């Protein structure tokens, strides 16, 4: 028999079914009648299993369809399961997010929106001619409208901080998604997505905590700011005036002036990009301290501005190649700082509280003449430095102290300033207005203001009051006094015996002249002769006149003749005011003053002094004239004649006592 075609075996299941069928057909039926003999068993007819021919291709396709149906069914079941899980997670997550966000949303509604433009504004100090002397501030800020800000800075700010500012509602969702992706890639939180509005919310309401909770509150608050303020330009203006730019500058106006010496309207592309670039890290991107980092950030901002179409490629290249030139930071000099500190203390006392003054944006006009102030500082410094070069000077010098201080900056023990000090005060005789005030050689070394706080023996500067008392009692400049050595028992200075010495540079070459006029005695500061004048005028009269001129006396020295030669202690300001009785015909200003006007942030004048002269005359006008005339002679021919011949006072009508 020939072999048939090559056949595939049927599936196991089909063969099993055939076998089961064959078994059923072969099983005999049970007989109902048990008595009948069993029939002869016949062998069942053997069935022939006929293989069903199945092609290899048909079987493979059938198998694939079966597997595909199973895969689809499994996918449907898994998808249904996954969607169910996601739905459950979504519901649970949504409910959780609602309960998490709702308290933050409610918190965002509690902030007082009226305070969003409540800025700390520095108070400015000006001299009598409108020259700025300094500022009193916690935050150095001068708010300006957005119309006074360069368009280039606005563009640089948007490019650096929030390019979609004018299209989002306070939260940049695309930016948030980008930050999430970048942070996920980096494996850490190094990307932010805060919009300008969010930064405004954070700074205005002090949301400094670094947490997701704070970010959520900030986002809700930003949405609220956008809704309630409504105007994008107003939000941008608030941001520009509030943000910190480093080096103590708050707001674009202070930053433009402080870094580049310009108004905000005058900033060019490179300067605008520089300022916009420092906002994220004001210290390490500061153009003064870290110029390389500042230039790098500036160039990145310029590239971004070009990409956004704000500037041309030529402008971008020009800005990136521009030299970074921040102006030197304005600082109060060590000497002018005495004026600043005096003004600051007086304004705080007048207005009430440092916070009020430093944040209120007051405009303070002083009586200071900057030209005179600078000359006073320079000449005092020169004169004291010259005295330190004298062969007999054996104390600490300023240069030695500065060298010691430099070593202290490197870790040594702090030195004590012991170098020669001095002070200078210049006032208007008629009003008591201070024109120049130098309280010491350097405020950074010693903050003690010797014009106001220092009390020293007045020395021979007290002599005009002695001679005024004599003139009041009937004497006159031509009266004669004995110019001869005097027994120290009359003064009791240092000891109870010996001869009264003639001291001071004003009579370094003293020669006793026997009999001299009062004019001559005052002109050359003759000590013994002046004591005799005082004794003749009587101590009580001298003290009474000096007190009438505004001087005060403490202790027991006033009970001794040493008073005549200035052994009592007086401040420079008191003595300077008392001297005005001579040019003012016997009267003096009740007080000397440094502040001429204070205006609030709205320009309303809230303080103006009313200079008044004393109600009664300390001396009559004739005595005033006589003393003044003697003091004029002192400058021309006496101990102070160098002031006329060498210091340029010859062109003025001046009188004085060294």
pLDDT tens figures, 522-559: 998 898 999 999 999 999 999 999 999 999 998 877 88
Query: Beta 434-438 vs 424-427: how paired, if at all?
Result: antiparallel
Mean pLDDT, range 71-91, rounded to an integer = 71
Q: State both tokens at 150.
A: 């360069």
Distance (Å) of CA 534 to CA 351, 530, 543: 46, 6, 10
| Residue 426 reports pLDDT greater than 80 | yes
Q: Which residue has the higher pLDDT, 454 or 493?
A: 454
Placement of tokens 């800020």 in the chain: 141
At residue 507, the pLDDT reads 47
Which DSSP category does 582 fall into? T
Give me the phi and psi of 334, to 5 degrees please: -60, -25
Contact 366, 607 (CB under 8 A): no
Mean pLDDT, range 84-99, rounded to an integer = 68
- Domain 455-581+618-645 maps to which CATH number in 3.40.50.620, 3.30.565.10, 3.40.50.2300, 3.40.710.10? 3.40.710.10
Contact 111, 223 (CB under 8 A): no
At residue 639, the pLDDT reads 66
At residue 88, the pLDDT reads 74
| Residue 29 reports pLDDT greater than 70 | no
Q: Which residue has the higher pLDDT, 106 or 257?
A: 257
CB atoms within 10 A of CB 490: 17
Placement of tokens 């030209």 in the chain: 371
Mean pLDDT, range 18-44, rounded to an integer = 47
pLDDT level of residue 385 (50, 70, 90 thresholds): very high
| Residue 188 reports pLDDT greater than 50 | yes
At residue 605, the pLDDT reads 95
Find the helix packing angle between 463-472 and 621-637, rounded to 10°: 140
| Residue 511 reports pLDDT greater than 90 | no
At residue 187, the pLDDT reads 55
| Residue 93 reports pLDDT greater than 90 | no
At residue 580, the pLDDT reads 97
265 vs 252: CA distance, rounded Å: 10
At residue 204, the pLDDT reads 82
CB atoms within 10 A of CB 576: 20
Contact 651, 643 (CB under 8 A): no
Q: Which residues pair with 121 in a beta bridge?
A: 360
At residue 32, the pLDDT reads 40
40 vs 82: CA distance, rounded Å: 68
Give me the phi and psi of 292, to 5 degrees please: -65, -45
pLDDT level of residue 11 (50, 70, 90 thresholds): very low
Most confident segment among 2-16, 413-427, 431-445, 479-493: 431-445
| Residue 180 reports pLDDT greater than 70 | no
**Secondary structure (3-state) at 249:** strand
For the stretch 456-468, pLDDT in tens is 999 999 999 999 9
At residue 12, the pLDDT reads 44
343 vs 452: CA distance, rounded Å: 12
pLDDT level of residue 521 (50, 70, 90 thresholds): very high
At residue 615, the pLDDT reads 87
Mean pLDDT, range 242-246, rounded to an integer = 93
pLDDT level of residue 411 (50, 70, 90 thresholds): low
Mean pLDDT, range 40-62, rounded to an integer = 60
Mean pLDDT, range 394-405, rounded to an integer = 89
The mean pLDDT value of the chain amounts to 83
pLDDT level of residue 503 (50, 70, 90 thresholds): low
For the stretch 97-108, pLDDT in tens is 656 667 766 766
| Residue 210 reports pLDDT greater than 90 | no
Every domain of the chain and the residues it spans = 54-110, 142-321, 455-581+618-645
- Domain 142-321 maps to which CATH number in 3.40.50.20, 3.40.50.150, 1.20.1250.20, 1.10.3810.10? 1.10.3810.10
Most confident segment among 290-304, 398-412, 546-560: 290-304
């Amino acid at each position: 028999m020939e072999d048939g075609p090559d056949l595939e075996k049927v599936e196991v299941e089909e063969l099993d079914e055939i076998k089961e069928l064959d078994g059923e057909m072969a099983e005999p039926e049970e007989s109902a009648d048990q008595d009948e003999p069993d029939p002869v068993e016949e062998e069942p007819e053997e069935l022939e299993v006929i293989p069903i021919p199945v092609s290899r291709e048909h079987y493979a396709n059938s198998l694939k369809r079966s597997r595909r149906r199973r895969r689809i069914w499994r996918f449907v079941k898994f998808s249904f399961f996954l969607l169910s899980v996601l739905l459950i997670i979504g519901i649970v997550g949504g409910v959780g997010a609602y309960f998490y966000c709702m308290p933050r949303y409610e918190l965002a509604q509690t902030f007082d929106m009226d305070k969003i433009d409540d800025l700390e504004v520095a108070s400015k100090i000006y001299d009598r001619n409108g020259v700025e002397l300094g500022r009193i501030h916690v935050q150095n800020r001068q708010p300006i409208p957005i119309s006074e800000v360069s368009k280039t800075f606005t563009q640089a700010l948007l490019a650096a901080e929030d390019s979609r500012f004018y299209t989002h509602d306070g939260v940049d969702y695309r930016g948030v998604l980008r930050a999430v992706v970048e942070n996920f890639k980096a494996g850490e939180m190094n990307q932010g997505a805060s919009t300008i509005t969010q930064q405004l919310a954070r700074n205005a309401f002090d949301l400094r905590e670094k947490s997701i909770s704070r970010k959520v509150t900030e986002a809700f608050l930003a949405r609220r700011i956008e809704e309630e303020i409504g105007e994008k330009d107003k939000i941008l203006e608030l941001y520009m005036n509030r943000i910190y730019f480093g080096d103590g500058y708050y707001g674009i106006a202070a930053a433009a002036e402080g870094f580049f010496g310009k108004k905000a309207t005058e900033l060019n592309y490179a300067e605008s990009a520089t300022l916009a670039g420092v906002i994220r890290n004001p210290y390490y991107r500061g153009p003064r301290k870290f110029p390389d980092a500042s230039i790098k950030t500036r160039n990145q901002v310029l590239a971004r501005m070009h990409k956004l179409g704000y500037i041309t490629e030529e402008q971008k290249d020009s800005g990136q190649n521009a030299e970074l030139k921040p102006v030197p930071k304005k600082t109060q000099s060590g000497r002018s700082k005495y004026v600043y500190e005096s003004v600051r203390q007086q304004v705080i006392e007048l207005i009430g509280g440092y916070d009020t003054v430093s944040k209120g944006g007051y405009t303070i006009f002083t009586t200071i003449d900057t030209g005179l102030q600078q000359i006073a500082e320079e000449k005092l410094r020169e004169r004291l430095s010259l005295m330190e070069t004298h062969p007999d000077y054996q104390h600490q010098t300023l240069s030695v102290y500065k060298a010691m201080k430099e070593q202290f900056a490197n870790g040594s023990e702090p030195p004590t300033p012991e170098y020669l000090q001095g002070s200078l005060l210049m006032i208007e005789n008629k009003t008591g207005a201070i024109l120049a005030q130098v309280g010491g050689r350097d405020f950074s070394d010693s903050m003690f203001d010797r014009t106001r706080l220092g009390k020293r023996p007045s020395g021979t500067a007290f002599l005009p009051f002695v001679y005024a008392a004599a003139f009041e009692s009937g004497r006159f400049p031509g009266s004669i006094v004995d110019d001869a050595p005097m027994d120290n028992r009359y003064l009791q200075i240092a000891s109870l015996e010996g001869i009264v010495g003639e001291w001071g540079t004003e009579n370094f070459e003293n020669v006793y002249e026997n009999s001299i006029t009062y004019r001559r005695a005052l002109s050359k500061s003759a000590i013994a002769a002046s004591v005799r004048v005082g004794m003749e005028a009587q101590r009580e009269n001298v003290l009474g006149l000096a007190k009438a001129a505004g001087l005060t006396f403490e202790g027991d020295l006033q009970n001794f003749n040493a008073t005549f030669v200035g052994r009592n202690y007086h401040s420079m300001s008191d003595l300077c005011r008392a001297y005005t009785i001579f040019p003012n015909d016997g009267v003096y200003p009740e007080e000397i003053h440094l502040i001429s006007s204070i205006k609030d942030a709205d320009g309303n004048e809230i303080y103006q002094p009313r200079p008044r002269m004393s109600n009664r005359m300390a001396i009559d006008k004739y005595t005033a004239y006589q003393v003044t005339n003697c003091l004029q002679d002192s400058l021309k021919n006496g101990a102070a004649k160098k002031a006329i011949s060498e210091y340029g006072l010859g062109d003025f009508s001046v009188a004085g006592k060294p």
